[in-house]
Amino acid sequence: MSKKVTKIGIMTSGGDAPGMNACVRAAVRTGLFNKMEVYGITRGYSGMIDDDIHKMDSRSVANIIQRGGTILKTARCKEFMTPEGRKKAYANLKKHGINGLIIIGGDGSFKGAQIFSNEFDIPCIGIPGTIDKDIAGTDFTIGFDTAVNTAIDAIDKIRDTADAHDRLFIVEVMGRDAGYIALYSGIGTGAEHILIPEQKTDVEAVIKSLQEKERRKKLVNIVVVAEGDDFGGGNELAEIIKERIPGFDIRVAILGHVQRGGAPSSLDRMIASRMGYSAVNCLIEGNHNVMVGIVNNKMHYTPLDKAIKAKQRINEDWLKMVKILAS
């Protein structure tokens, strides 16, 4: 991997996240500024296998920084998990002369990049693009801030109608393996309970707390639950609360994929631009097979193999704070 990188392939992979377009824009224009050829790979690893690869110029990324989703599309690809699929992908990259890759996605995308780079002589740079914020080695992931703000906006509106009817609302947010969206949106909206995958749910404690609130005539309550909570999602929790506290008027709101969409926040646009710019510079400087992150507002580089294995952990102080503020 000592060869000079002259042609870059850029792709978005896994779940889409607001800010991916800002990152693509930054990477394309930084590459062009440094006299490199830049290619967009459509639909992630699937596009690499199908040779859905096109040359990009400055106009290719005009007027996209404010758009959600990704102009390069994204897909999950089982074929890339096979040696035969990766051979097809490499042959297509070689045909275009691409000798450096930038992958914007999550840990699954990085795992594919690490295997691919080990098998073939091509350096890869990972950029954390996931609304879940579940990757270690960075304080931010592209899309997380926007997703949280979307959830907060929805929960604020839900609290208005909950107050009008004296209802208990259970709001399910995204987070199959990580509870950061639930944690941040729950704290930001003053939720009475926040249930996340990282902490075993004590349903009896939740029931007891709600019963106490019922005795105090506090009938307006918001419970935010991550979809991957060990007890189950919003509907499962609602069923047991209905059985135990029939006096509560309960509604469930599942926010779903609305959290993935929308114009990226100013923070997501900024970190995405910084990461895209830094990823190209990594390839130029020979700092290969790393994930570009931001720690303490400074660029931080984590080897891809470590980024794949490590998970972002929720600070115990945050969980303690949730109990205090919701009491």
**Sequence-ordered list of residues with C-beta below 8 angstroms from that of 311, at least 6 positions apart, any chain:** 134, 135, 136, 178
Output the pLDDT for position 220. 80
Over residues 143-172, the pLDDT tens digits come to: 999 999 999 999 999 999 999 998 899 999
Distance of CA 75 to the CA centre of its chain: 15
Catalytic residues: 132
Eight-class DSSP state of 14: S
Q: Quick one: the chain helix, strand, coil %, rounded to 5? A: 45, 20, 35
DSSP reduced 3-state for 147:
helix
Looking at domain 7-143+264-309, which of 3.40.50.300, 2.30.130.10, 3.40.50.450, 3.40.640.10 is its CATH number? 3.40.50.450
**Confidence class of residue 1 from pLDDT cuts 50, 70 and 90?**
very low
Average pLDDT over residues 6-10: 98
Average pLDDT over residues 217-243: 87
Could you write out the three-class secondary structure of the chain? CCCCCCEEEEEECCCCCCCHHHHHHHHHHHHHHCCCEEEEECCHHHHHHCCCEEEECHHHHCCCCCCCCCCCCCCCCCHHHCHHHHHHHHHHHHHHCCCEEEEEECHHHHHHHHHHHHHCCCCEEEEEECCCCCECCCCCCECHHHHHHHHHHHHHHHHHHHHHHCCEEEEEECCCCCCHHHHHHHHHCCCCEEECCCCCCCHHHHHHHHHHHHHCCCCCEEEEEECCCCCCCHHHHHHHHHHHCCCCCEEEEECHHHHHCCCCCHHHHHHHHHHHHHHHHHHHHCCCCEEEEEECCEEEEEEHHHHHHCECCCCHHHHHHHHHHCC
Over residues 177-186, the pLDDT tens digits come to: 889 999 999 9
**Sequence-ordered list of residues with C-beta below 8 angstroms from that of 139, at least 6 positions apart, any chain:** 293, 294, 295, 296
pTM score of the predicted model:
0.93
Output the pLDDT for position 217. 76
Over residues 91-144, the pLDDT tens digits come to: 999 999 999 999 999 988 999 999 999 999 899 999 999 999 989 899 999 999
Per-domain residue ranges of the chain: 7-143+264-309, 145-260
Q: Do domains 7-143+264-309 and 145-260 have the same CATH topology?
A: yes
Output the pLDDT for position 327. 65
Output the pLDDT for position 2. 55
State the amino acid at position 270 in one-letter form: M
Over residues 268-295, the pLDDT tens digits come to: 999 999 999 999 999 999 999 999 999 9
DSSP reduced 3-state for 297:
coil
Output the pLDDT for position 133. 93
Question: Is residue 248 pLDDT above 90, yes or no?
Answer: no
Question: Is residue 312 pLDDT above 80, yes or no?
Answer: no
Q: What is the DSSP pairing of strand 221-226 with strand 298-303?
A: unpaired
Output the pLDDT for position 218. 72
Question: Is residue 213 pLDDT above 90, yes or no?
Answer: no
Mean pLDDT of the chain: 92
Question: Is residue 307 pLDDT above 50, yes or no?
Answer: yes
Output the pLDDT for position 100. 97
Residue closest to 70 by CA, chosen among 261, 286, 325: 261
Query: Which CATH code for domain 145-260?
Result: 3.40.50.460
Average pLDDT over residues 18-36: 98
Tokens of 76: 């999950």
